[in-house]
């Protein structure tokens, strides 16, 4: 039986909360140099055409607004 959307969001929120609690106890310890090298490596994995496109953060902004509403609904 498939869960309804509200239960799916609730389950996801609980999972993310569990991860956040785990992450607080296990801080990521990267030097700034290692972090930048990792970003450079990931950037180079993108196809050349993707690297040439202008950056468009509008999709991220839409998602953040939607997630903010979810957070408010579960307070």
On the question of pLDDT at 75 being above 70, the answer is no
Q: Which two tokens stand for residue 18?
A: 């569990």
- Note whether 12 and 20 are within 8 A (CB): no
Contacts 24+ apart (CB under 8 A), 20-28: none
Query: What CA–CA distances, in Å, run from 47 to 50, 53, 66?
Result: 5, 10, 29
Q: Give residue-wise pLDDT tens across range 4-48.
A: 888 888 889 999 999 999 888 887 788 899 999 999 999 999 999
Assess whether pLDDT exceeds 70 at residue 3: no
């Amino acid at each position: 039986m498939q869960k309804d959307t509200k239960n799916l969001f609730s389950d996801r929120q609980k999972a993310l909360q569990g991860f956040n609690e785990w992450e607080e106890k296990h801080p990521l310890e990267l030097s700034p140099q290692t972090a930048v090298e990792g970003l450079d490596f990931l950037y180079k994995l993108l196809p050349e055409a993707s690297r040439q496109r202008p950056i468009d953060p509008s999709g991220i902004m839409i998602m953040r607004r939607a997630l903010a509403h979810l957070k408010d609904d579960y307070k």
